[in-house]
Structure 1
Amino acid sequence: MRTTVTCDVQMGDPPLTLLWLRDEHVLAPTADLQLSQHDSFSTSLVLAHVRPHHAGNYTCVARNEAREVRYTAELLVRVPPRWVLEPLDVSVTRGEDAYLTCLATGFPEPTVTWRRTRPETPRGI
């Protein structure tokens, strides 16, 4: 998925310096992140293919000789659950402890719910 964020400065005397930060670090263009300044008062940040590692706080900074202003917005990237450690069938002797493990990842953090199913008993037995 693609996303674009635009920062428009409504007032201020030029010359203005406009820049983008992610988690307080200055951003530079990359293969999947483009930065463009439309005019003296507006700039855009484009993420061509949003991935989980793009999540973070994005800040538009505008400054001139008189002042610096910032606006920050958080980008949350939702990621469907996937198994890191998939549960496996186990076999134990009656009276012993059985340990079943699993681990899933995603955002927001997935909730793992266990449910016991009983195999059907064939009729007539």
Structure 2
Amino acid sequence: MPEGYPRITDHPSLKAVEKDRNTILQCHAKGDPKPSIIWLRDFIPVDLSNPRLTLLEGGELQIERSQESDVGKYECVAENEHGVDYSYAANLYVKVRRVPPHFTMPPESVEVQPATDVNLTCVAVGSPMPEVRWRQGNRELTDENEIPIGRNVLELKNVLETKNYTCVASSDLGIIEEIAQVKVT
């Protein structure tokens, strides 16, 4: 190998990163003059115009807010006037966390005076985030076109009688329900 020939000294390695998390793929090279580094994903140059991808000063590739579209086989290429050196290829996997819905703020039963207004709040989380809607008996109270994600406040005006209201949180991983009573005293 001629003197000054680029040589990769630190290769990228297998990575598994959670979706929406940041990660850095390692790559360092020696040579004289100092080699330039480019990255390939599945044998195609990585598009550094993507604001989530940054080539760091040392040659590492930083990926911000990892997405499923980032999955692939990565390798770095070091090049200078004497030649080219390719790193070992390393797979990047992006794990999508899946969590069934659960309440972080279930609705609470309340006692009110007749003809008063009351708000019932219900908050649920999960991955994917659940839709949250309200029901009274079998009657849907949340507009089908405006179902909020994660949080829903039921505004009741001029309450005259005791009733039960059900908060329903649903995603493709399940449905949970919690009942709150508005009791008129």
The alignment partner of 2:27 has SS state of strand
Deviation at 1:15, TM superposition (A): 4.4
Instruction: Please give the alpha-carbon distance, in whole angstroms, between the structure 1 residues aligned to 2:51 and 2:31.
Output: 32
Alignment correspondent of 2:52:
32
Deviation at 1:64, TM superposition (A): 2.1
Matches within 5 A, 1:14-33: 14-29=33-48, 30-33=50-53
Larger radius of gyration: 2
Superposition RMSD in Å: 2.0
Instruction: Please give the alpha-carbon distance, in whole angstroms, between the structure 1 residues aligned to 2:54 and 2:34.
Output: 23
Kept in 2: contact 1:18–1:62 (CA 8 A): yes
TM-score (norm 1): 0.53
Deviation string for 1:37-85 (max 9, x for gaps)? x2xxx31211110111110011110022333111121101223469xxx
Percent identity at matched positions?
A: 30
Instruction: Please give the alpha-carbon distance, in whole angstroms, between the structure 2 residues aligned to 1:63 and 1:33.
Output: 20
TM-score (norm 2): 0.37
Instruction: Please give the alpha-carbon distance, in whole angstroms, between the structure 2 residues aligned to 1:61 and 1:54.
Output: 18
Instruction: Please give the alpha-carbon distance, in whole angstroms, between the structure 2 residues aligned to 1:64 and 1:49.
Output: 32
Aligned mate of 1:68, from 84, 87, 92: 84
Instruction: Please give the alpha-carbon distance, in whole angstroms, between the structure 1 residues aligned to 2:74 and 2:51.
Output: 18
Q: Higher strand share goes to which structure?
A: 2
The alignment partner of 2:69 has SS state of helix
- Structure 1: runs of 5 or more not aligned: 83-125
Instruction: Please give the alpha-carbon distance, in whole angstroms, between the structure 1 residues aligned to 2:60 and 2:34.
Output: 18
Alignment correspondent of 2:24:
4
- Aligned residue pair count: 77
Kept in 2: contact 1:28–1:35 (CA 8 A): no
Deviation string for 1:82-114 (max 9, x for gaps)? 9xxxxxxxxxxxxxxxxxxxxxxxxxxxxxxxx
Deviation at 1:17, TM superposition (A): 2.2
Alignment correspondent of 1:59:
75
